[in-house]
Structure 1
């Protein structure tokens, strides 16, 4: 007969549940040129590689995916869901993000269609406690015109929408105000990057706000 201590040693510890399914949805519409696209993907890779962000991703067993979106019927799951179970998984995902090819070029900005496509991806990660769309873009919707409806659908499904508004230098914040008024869900938030060169640091701080506060 095995002693209780032996039984404990032979019993596998249950895996930690997925804390958050985080879908990073990036704008590749016509206003994003090739240099801007590279700044966006390299910024995404740099933010994920930050030691504090990487630690939070692994600690929460976060599931990550990346969607690229542009005009109507132009959405692509560029990086499918991957669980951040180890530091190596984060490093691998960050490297793939930096190298991923652009799915679309030179088209409209259908924010709502991009949100709806992103929302449909969460069926693959039903065990995650929280589901978050992290959308970034530099323009207001000019095609499809489903942004308000898409936000309502996300709210009804219990999916949080946060945003990064990419603004031109200057005193005005038209994209920030658009995302705040029309895109983010109740309880969500929008942060502002002043140009794409500010994108990596803005995203890093945004990820920490989404992950560290929740997990801690």
Structure 2
């Protein structure tokens, strides 16, 4: 009898091997917000302006008001990724998805951002930035009540597919896009003119989704104040004051 049972036992063990060897599915961490900060580092942004942008994000993420806003959410935590972009060939995740739930986590995120080298590339593809940012939400380890792409930049889409098509694809995936257009009156590095009415361009072509809004920065020097206001509104999930409603 014992000998007859052995083949059966072996068969059961062999059948169970795939289940035993399969990796356990890691549960996604629930958060109030999944946020991709998509930052323009195209050729129209010189080294000084790039530094002003990054320092603006650093100061805002460490601001006690932002920390307080994060903690005041139902879950008291958000997930953030920082991506720099230029033409349709350049989208670089500078700091990957990070859970922010207090000053220590914010300082760690900022530390990684401070250590990353500043780079720029040619052309401006808002559409490619949105497309790339949209893919970052898949399998990121978090499950947010809201998913938002925050696009900041100082020019219009001049490479890649139509920005409206990228926007609409992101909206179809349940993602909201907010904007921070930089209304810069300085000539770009090669002496070309700046884009007039960039805030209206962002309003009509870039932002969209439930509660979408934009906060214009009137210059790179005022960028820090604009991003602080925008982050507070994004974390709270509201858009008021000097913002434009999205589609």
Q: By the TM > 0.5 criterion, same fold?
A: yes
SS in 1 for 2:42: coil
Q: Select the structure of larger CA radius of gyration.
A: 2
Q: CA deviation at 1:121?
A: 0.1
Matched-pair contact (CA < 8 Å) for 1:113–1:146: no
Matches of 2:205 and 2:141 in 1, distance apart?
26
Matches of 1:58 and 1:200 in 2, distance apart?
21
Alignment of 1:9-158 (within 5 A): 17-59=30-72, 60-105=76-121, 107-123=122-138, 124-158=140-174
Q: CA deviation at 1:213?
A: 4.8
Q: Which moved further from structure 2: 51-60 or 186-195?
A: 51-60
Q: Alignment length, in residue pairs?
A: 197
**Alignment counterpart, residue 231 of structure 2, candidates 196, 207, 215:** 207
Q: Deviations over 1:172-214 (max 9, x none)?
A: 9521111100000143111110111101110001111111356
Q: TM-score, normalised by structure 1?
A: 0.85
Q: CA deviation at 1:169?
A: 4.5
Matched-pair contact (CA < 8 Å) for 1:74–1:104: no
Unpaired stretches in structure 1, ≥5 consecutive residues: 1-15
Q: CA deviation at 1:94?
A: 2.2
Residue 185 of structure 1 is matched in structure 2 by: 208
Q: TM-score, normalised by structure 2?
A: 0.75
Higher helix share: 1
Unpaired stretches in structure 2, ≥5 consecutive residues: 1-28, 187-194, 239-247
Matches of 1:55 and 1:189 in 2, distance apart?
21
